Structure 1
Amino acid sequence: MQVNINGIETRYVLSNEGGGPWLTFIHQLGGDLSVWDQLAGYFRDDYTVLRYDLRGHGETAVSSEPFTIADLSRDLAALLDALDAPRTHLVGMSMGGMVAQQFALDYPSRVDTLTIADSTGGTPPEGRALFDQRAAAARQDGMAPLVSATLSRWLTPGFQAAHPEAVEQISEVLSHTLPEGYAKACEALRDFDVRSKLGAIRCPTLTVAGRHDTGTPPAATQAVADAIEGAQFELLDAAHLAPVEQAHRFAALLETFLERPV
C-alpha cells in the first residue's frame, strides 16, 4: 500500500488479522519493511501490525531536502493519522530505534510501549565523521561497495553460513537502497542526539542489544535503558540485527514484554 505522507510517497504493509492493539515496526538504515517479515507473521494474530519504509528506503520516495530523525518521527505520526491509529506499541531497530526514541519524546501519549533494538540515544562526536564518509561513498560509488562491510557488521559469520537465504534478502534490499536516500539518512543519524532527554520517557521500555555488535556496542543500547526509568535491558547472542539473528528469542522477549501489566 502507498500513501502520501508529508509530501513523500510512502509504502506500508498492514496485517490486522487479529484486530488487536497497534504494533509498529521500524527498520534499520539500508533496510526496508521486509526485515520484519518473520516477526510480523508471529504477532499479526494478536495485534494490528504496521510496517513501513522510511524516507529513501524500499519503495518510499527520497525527499528532495535533507531531513532529520525528528522529521522521520513526524512522518510516523502522519502515517498513524492516515490509518486512524491513535496510539501504538513501537519497535525500532538501529535507525528505527532512533526514530522510536524521538517519537516517544515527541508524541508520548501515542506510545503504549517502546522497544529499542541495537540502537543508541545519540551519535558520539567520534562517530559523526563515519556517517559523513558513508554518505559520500554512497553518492560517489553507489551502494554496491558498501554491502560486504555492512553485512559483516550486521550479522555474525555463523548466522550468515546457516541462513544464506535470509542474508541474500537483506543484501538485496541494501544493494537496491537509493544512494541519495541512504546518504540523507546517514546525515540524519550523524546529527541525532536525545541522550539528555531520555529521562522524560515514561512508557514501559524494553531495550535489546547483540553481544557481537561492533557498530553499536551493547553498552550504547544499555545506556538508553539506564536513562529511562524502569527500562529493561536484554543481551542476545547476535551482531547488529539481533531481532533477525535471534528472531525466536526476540519474539519471546517482546511477547512477554507486551503482555505484562502496566
Structure 2
Amino acid sequence: MQVNINGIETRYVLSNEGGGPWLTFIHQLGGGLSVWDQLAGYFRDDYTVLRYDVRGHGQTELSKEPFSVGDLAGDLAALLDALGAPSTHLVGMSMGGMIAQQFALDHSSRVDSLTIADSVAANPPEARATWDQRAASARRDGMAPLAAATLERWLTEDFRVAHPEAVEPIHEALTRTLPEGYAMACEALREFDVRGKLGAIHCPTLVVAGRHDTGTRPAASQEIADAIEGAHFELLDAAHLAPVEQSQRFAALLETFLERPV
C-alpha cells in the first residue's frame, strides 16, 4: 500500500486481523519493512501492526532535499495521521530506534510504549568520519560493495551460516536501497543527538542490545535505558540485528512488555 506523506510516496503494510492497539515497527538503515515479517506475523492477531519503508528505502521515494531524524519522525506522525492512528506502541531497530526516540520526544502523547533495539542516543564525534565514508561510498560505488561488511556487523557468523533463508532477504533489501537514500540517511544519523533530552520520555520503555554488536556497543544502548526513568534493559545473544537473530526471545520479551499494566 502507498500513501503520500510530506510529498513522498510512502510504502506501508498494515496487518489488523486482531483489531487491537496499534504496534508500529521501524527498520534499520539500509533495510525495509520486510525485516519485520516474522514479528508482524506473531503480533497481528492481537495488535494492529504497521510497518513502513523509511524515505529513500524499500519502495518509498527518495527525499528531494536533505533531511534530519526529526524529519523522519515527522514522516511517521503524518503516516499515523493518514491511517487514523491516534497513538501506537513503537518498536525501532538501529536507525529505527533513533527515529523512535525522536518521535517519543516530539510526539509524546502518541506513544503508548517505546521499544528501542540496537540503537544509540547520539553518534559520537569520532564516528562522523565513518558516516561520511559510508555516504561517499554509496554515492560513488552503489550499495553492493557495502553489503558484505555490513552483514558481518549485523549478524553473527553462526547465524549467517545456519540461517541463509533469513540472511538473503536482508541482503537483498540492503543492496536494493537507493544509494542516495542511504547516503542522505547516513548524514541524518551523523547529526543525531538526543542525549540531553531522554529524561523527558515518560512512557514505558524497553531497550534491547546484542551482546556481540560491534557497531553499536551494548553500553550505548544501556545509556539510553539509564536516561529514561523506569526503562528496562535486556542483552541478547546476538549481533546488531538482535530482533532478527533472536526473534523468538525478542518476541517473548516484547509480548511480556506490551502486556504490562501502565
- Name the counterpart of 2:143: 143
- Name the counterpart of 1:186: 186
- Name the counterpart of 1:254: 254
Show the 5 A alignment for 1:117-136: 117-136=117-136
| CA deviation string 1:36-74 (max 9, x = no partner) | 000000000000000000010000000110000000000
- Name the counterpart of 1:91: 91
Q: Which amino acid in structure 1 is aligned with residue 144 of structure 2?
A: A
How far apart, in 1, do the equivalents of 2:5 and 2:80 lie?
A: 10
How far apart, in 2, do the equivalents of 1:88 and 1:64 lie?
A: 28
| Segments of 4+ moved more than 3 angstroms | none
- Name the counterpart of 2:77: 77
C-alpha displacement at 1:129, in angstroms? 1.0
C-alpha displacement at 1:180, in angstroms? 0.2
What's the secondary structure of 1:213's corresponding residue?
A: coil
Show the 5 A alignment for 1:1-262: 1-262=1-262
Q: Which amino acid in structure 1 is aligned with residue 199 of structure 2?
A: G
What's the secondary structure of 1:196's corresponding residue?
A: coil
Q: Which runs of 5+ in 1 are unaligned?
A: none
C-alpha displacement at 1:112, in angstroms? 0.2
How far apart, in 2, do the equivalents of 1:127 and 1:197 lie?
A: 21
Q: How many residues align?
A: 262
What's the secondary structure of 2:196's corresponding residue?
A: helix
How far apart, in 2, do the equivalents of 1:75 and 1:249 lie?
A: 30
What's the secondary structure of 1:195's corresponding residue?
A: coil
C-alpha displacement at 1:213, in angstroms? 0.2
How far apart, in 2, do the equivalents of 1:123 and 1:129 lie?
A: 11
| CA deviation string 1:196-239 (max 9, x = no partner) | 00000000000000000000010000000000000000000000
Q: Which runs of 5+ in 2 are unaligned?
A: none
Quick one: percent identity of the two aligned structures? 81
Q: Which amino acid in structure 1 is aligned with residue 165 of structure 2?
A: E
What's the secondary structure of 1:152's corresponding residue?
A: helix
C-alpha displacement at 1:128, in angstroms? 1.1
